[in-house]
């Protein structure tokens, strides 16, 4: 079987891309006066709001699953406000949601012309998006973080740590007593460091628009922000720094975190916005897993 070599590709600076959405223009202020809303919609909002209030009073989960357009449509600051005020206990999105949120935090704009850029061989072929997100996932896999948590950490900390090669060699050889998953993650990180010729130490990655990032808000508030990607769906897979092992480790942790939140959903609220595939797919498996444990603990 032959494989495509991404190291033969040319990658382009993100700031040369024409982006269709500027976050300072698209973002909706949580304190803004709302537009006129039909009474039937207001009635539905009141029902949902009362269910959320009841759930939180009883310390039950309120999970919000959403698609990437929720980010692109400027709802980030509203969702962040719901996190900070304690109304949402878990956020879940797909890989594209993570990317748009990160690009907004990094450069204040996102979303490209797919048709035009595919014709030029440029769609998704952006150096900073591919390199930094994949590096964050590698660092997250090595540190035991989830997908969304790894990106949120990079945004909040304005960068990430590239470990020394000798330290990684020691872990791989079993000299530190690290568990097997850590040894494997260290080997993956070492390979990427050598291939990309990365220098050890702190890699500064500024995020001047981090106030718009839901991932940053979730990381700061210690609220799970989980990503549930599908391999090949997102532009970070085009980049030479993409490594499936690191992505898989982070995404697996996120899925199990999601299942854990679903297991506490009895009496809680599950909100799904703009996700016709990811949200129902992960929810049905999670619900079955949670009920499997409940049945085992309390057989009929």
Mean pLDDT of the region 221-227: 97
Taking 90 as the threshold, does the pLDDT of residue 144 lie above it?
yes
The H or E element that residue 83 is part of is helix 76-84
Q: Is residue 114 packed enough to be buried (19+ CB in 10 Å), middle (13-18) or exposed (0-12)? A: exposed
Q: Please tell me the total number of residues recorded for the chain in this structure.
A: 300
Taking 90 as the threshold, does the pLDDT of residue 298 lie above it?
no
Range in 27-31, 87-91, 155-159, 225-229 the model is least confident about = 27-31
How many angstroms separate the Cα of 280 from the Cα of each of 77, 93, 231, 263, 271? 25, 12, 18, 15, 11
- Tens digits of per-residue pLDDT, 179-188? 999 999 999 9
Supply the mean pLDDT for the chain. Answer: 95
Taking 90 as the threshold, does the pLDDT of residue 117 lie above it?
yes
* pLDDT confidence of residue 34: 75
How many angstroms separate the Cα of 195 from the Cα of each of 42, 165, 170, 201? 55, 12, 19, 17
pLDDT bin (cut points 50, 70, 90) of residue 294 is confident
On whether the CB atoms of residues 238 and 183 are closer than 8 A, the answer is no
* pLDDT confidence of residue 297: 76
Q: Strand, helix or coil at 76?
A: helix
The DSSP 8-state label assigned to residue 108 in this structure reads S
* pLDDT confidence of residue 300: 60
């Amino acid at each position: 079987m032959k494989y495509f070599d991404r190291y033969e590709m040319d990658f382009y600076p993100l700031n040369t891309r024409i982006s269709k959405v500027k976050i300072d223009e698209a973002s909706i202020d949580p304190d803004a006066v709302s537009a006129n809303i039909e009474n039937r919609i207001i009635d539905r909002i009141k029902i949902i709001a009362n269910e959320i209030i009841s759930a939180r009073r009883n310390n039950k989960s309120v999970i919000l699953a959403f698609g990437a357009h929720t980010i692109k449509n400027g709802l980030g600051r509203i969702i962040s406000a719901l996190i900070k005020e304690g109304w949402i206990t878990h956020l879940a999105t797909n890989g594209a949601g993570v990317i748009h949120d990160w690009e907004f935090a990094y450069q204040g704009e996102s979303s490209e012309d797919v048709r035009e850029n595919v014709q030029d061989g440029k769609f998704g072929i952006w150096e900073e998006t591919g390199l930094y997100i994949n590096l964050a996932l590698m660092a997250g896999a090595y540190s035991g973080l989830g997908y969304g948590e790894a990106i949120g950490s990079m945004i909040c900390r304005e960068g990430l740590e590239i470990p020394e090669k000798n330290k990684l060699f020691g872990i791989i050889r079993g000299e530190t007593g690290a568990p097997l998953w850590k040894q494997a993650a260290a080997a993956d990180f070492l390979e990427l460091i050598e291939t990309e010729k990365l220098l050890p130490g702190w890699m500064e990655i500024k995020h001047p628009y981090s106030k718009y990032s839901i991932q940053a808000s979730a990381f700061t508030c210690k609220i799970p922000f989980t990503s549930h990607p599908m391999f090949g769906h997102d532009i970070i897979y085009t980049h030479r720094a993409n490594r499936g092992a690191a992505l898989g480790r982070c995404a697996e942790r996120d899925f199990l975190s999601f299942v854990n939140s679903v297991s506490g959903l009895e009496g809680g609220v599950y909100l799904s916005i703009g996700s016709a595939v990811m949200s129902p797919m992960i929810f049905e498996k999670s619900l079955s897993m949670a009920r499997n444990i409940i049945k085992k603990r309390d057989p009929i």
